[in-house]
Amino acid sequence: MAIRLGETAPDFTAETTEGTINFHDYIGDGWVVLFSHPADFTPVCTTELGMVAKLKDEFAKRNTKVIALSVDPLNEHNEWVKDINETQNTIVNYPLIADSDQKIAELYDMIHPGASGKATVRSVFVVGPDKKVKLTLTYPPSTGRNFQEILRVIDSLQLTANHSVATPADWKNGEDVVISPSITDEQIPEKFPKGHTRIKPYLRITPQPNL
């Protein structure tokens, strides 16, 4: 059964390229991006894992860890990491889960019925400090993921978790946001002292409140 937004991310213990990890312990009091791959030594995923390594500092600024998963054994992961480091001019600096028995892939419903056992293991889960799933994405094998978009979503998730706002289409950190419909016009001056623009009764814009 597919994992839905707001559900607790299933816990697991797994062997990784950085030792044995318990997922909920790994999350700790921060955020985590768990992302999976069809198999080791695949071209698109090689570029993705390299990009995530280059962006690790950006994730860290957001109190976010990353962890990858593939349904191949640990020895193949370690060999693949060498290729990633070489071809992407980086150092893989986060753990890769070895899920050769596909238990975690099945736990997170990463393998779709009727497909190859590896072809559809290509998902993204963003999990918050409360261990709840905040975002799910599934990509086809032919399309590389946009990790700048995932960073943008994390910015939105963290902002909206702490302020009564939502982020509009194509929003980027630093831009104006939408005041939540649950906030009355009378509450706005106290909650949003930077001011606001009332476009429609349901569409009220304000500067990003945490800047």
153-209 pLDDT, tens digit per residue, is 999 999 999 999 999 999 999 999 999 999 999 999 999 999 999 999 999 999 999
Which residues are 179's β-sheet partners? 165
| Residue 143 token pair | 């399309």
Q: pLDDT (tens digit, 9 = 90+) per residue, 71-107?
A: 899 999 999 999 999 999 999 999 999 998 989 998 9
Q: Choose among 136, 182, 185: nearest CA to 160.
A: 182
The verdict on whether 76 is a catalytic residue reads no
Mean pLDDT of 11-15: 97
DSSP reduced 3-state for 117: coil
Residue at token pair 């400090």: 129
Residue in 32, 33, 45, 177 annotated catalytic: 45
DSSP 170: T
Angle of helix 74-88 relative to helix 43-54, nearest 10 degrees, comes to 70
Q: Which residues contact 80 (CB under 8 A, 6 or more apart)?
A: 40, 41, 46, 72, 96
Domains identified in the chain and CATH numbers: 13-144 (3.40.30.10), 163-206 (3.30.1020.10)
Buried/exposed 44-58: b ≥16 CB within 10 Å, e otherwise: bbbebbbbbbebbee
